[in-house]
Every structure is written in structure tokens, then in C-alpha cells.
Amino acid sequence: MSEVLDDALRTALTAFATDDGAALLVALDFDGVLAPLVDDPAASRMTAGARAAVDRIGALAAAHGTNVRLAFVSGRDLDDLALLAEPPAGAYVVGSHGAQTGRATPDGLDSVPLTLTDEQATTLGELTAALDEAVAGRPGAWVQRKPSAAVLHTRQAGPEDTAAAVAAADAAATRLGLEAMHGKDVVETAVLHTSKGEALGRLRRVVAEDLAAPAVRVLYAGDDTTDEKAFAVLGDGDVTVKVGPGETLADQRVTDPEAVAALLGRLADLIEGDAGS
């Protein structure tokens, strides 16, 4: 499978895996990266290749004395993400673009409760009502409810209904003083300020403390516009991977979840000391 990785990416992975005392944080988006995009978010599943590769990195992270950590960083609700991603014990799990955090244990997810202020809860109610109104009578458009956000989905809607619903979602966000994030056939608006970039910054600090490491290098793979905020905070020594087409701040690119699986497999080989191609 290694031919799906270009020379620049293979070189970047070799440098990333260099055993120099730094900790390695492998942080992965879910939808479009480990799991192909599908019409029904509840039906989303990792590819078999991605599952095997994630479990391999998870096993490396769980091994005694390892300097590796695994994280899932997604826009999904935390419980939804944990249900679908089935994170190996020890993996960090970040949902709602950073608003929700947890860590997988052998007994399930150990998570930090998310609470909204009364004002935020009221705003979320108004936002959700506006989106419900926006999709009424527009076949294929629907509203996903999350603990701190509401999401307009338009993957199955026609172009005119999509345009009208998106315009209404943008107008609602503006009226409520919120930021509408435009992703792949979604407009997501949260009542808490957060981003995957902030989440990765926090994770880097947590991993440094956890492993008492002098430095933490981060590999992050993402496919959507919200992942650009993660790419933006990464720098020297880190590896940024855009999955699929489109403009990006990432330094590397792969085509799809199968290529992500190949990437993770190659990384596991390098960490295990088997650098043969």
C-alpha cells in the first residue's frame, strides 16, 4: 500500500518518527479521514484498513514506555464520536471541535462534562429553532443537534434548497452574533468559541505533561475546512496532512481514508524500527 504515499510524505514521516526523546501525538479527524463521507452520519464507519491502522497506533501508544499518543479530534458530539471511532484505551477523544474532551479507558470514555450558561442554552435554542425553520419544506435538508451547536446538513438537498437553507443559517448566526462554519455539505454554528487548533494546542500540552517529554511533535490529518484551524497552529517538526482535494495549509496530501490507513501503517513501521519500504 506504500505506493499511495509520495516521497515528500514518506520523508516527513521518517523525520517525525525519529527517536530523539520527543513525544509523538498522532491526531486524526474522523469523517472523511478514517471514515468515507456518507449521507447518514449515524451510518458512518471507519474503513477496515483505517480501523486496523488506528488499532496498531493505539497498541503502540498503550505499550509500556512508549512515547506515542493517539487522539481523535472531530466536530462530532463526543459520545457519538466515541461510539463510532471505538477509541483504543488511552486515546484522547476531542469532540465538538474542541468543546468536549475525554480519554478512552478500558471501561469506557472518561469525559469532562460540557455545561452551557443559561444565556448560551437560550441562544442554542434560538439557533436550533431558526435552523428548523430554514429546513422546513426543503427535502434533504435537516438539522443535527449537538450539545453546544446546531448543524444544517444539505448533502441530500437540491441546489436551490441548499442555497436557501444555507443563507438562512448564515443569517441566523449573524443575528445571534455567532460564527457559522461552512464544512462539507454542512453549516455548523456553535454557542461556544472553540476550534480544532485550540484543541491541538491543549493536547500538545497534556501529552508533554503526561510523558514528561521535552517536546511533542504532532501529526494531524483532516479533510474539511475546520481542519485548517488545526493545520494553522502546527509548525516545524509537525506533519500536516490534507485528505482529498481542495486548498489547504497542510504540507502533505493523501487521497482518501485508505491512503490514511497506509500512512498510519508506514508510521507504525517506522516507530517499531522497521523502516524497510
Binding residues for ligand L263DTV3 (CB under 6 A): 29-32, 37-39, 41, 44, 74-76, 144, 151, 153, 155, 183-186, 188, 224, 226
Closest CB to ligand L263DTV3 among 69 and 97? 97
Residue 240's H or E segment, with its range, is strand 239-243
Beta carbon nearer to ligand L263DTV3, 42 or 212:
42
User: For the sheet containing 100-105, what is the strand order?
Assistant: 108-111, 100-105, 92-95, 68-73, 23-28, 216-222, 239-243, 252-254
Q: How far is the CB of 138 from ligand L263DTV3 (least distance, A)?
A: 15
- Closest distance to ligand L263DTV3 from the beta carbon of 108 (Å): 20
Question: Looking at beta carbons only, is 188 or 238 nearer to ligand L263DTV3?
Answer: 188
- The least distance separating ligand L263DTV3 from the CB of residue 147, rounded to whole angstroms, comes to 11
The conformation of residue 87, written as its DSSP 8-state character, comes to P
Distance CA 130, CA 127 (A): 5
- Closest separation in Å from C-beta 260 to ligand L263DTV3: 12
Using the minimum distance from each CB to ligand L263DTV3, give the nearer residue, 31 or 228.
Answer: 31
By the 8 A CB rule, do 98 and 76 touch?
Answer: no
CB of 43 or CB of 212, closer to ligand L263DTV3: 43
Gap between the Cα atoms of 94 and 96, Å rounded:
7
- Between the CA of residue 170 and those of 15, 96, 134, 146, 177, what are the distances in Å? 42, 19, 10, 18, 11
Residue 218 Cβ vs ligand L263DTV3, minimum distance, rounded to whole Å:
16
Rounded Cα gap, residues 154 and 121, in angstroms: 25
Residue with the shortest CB distance to ligand L263DTV3: 75
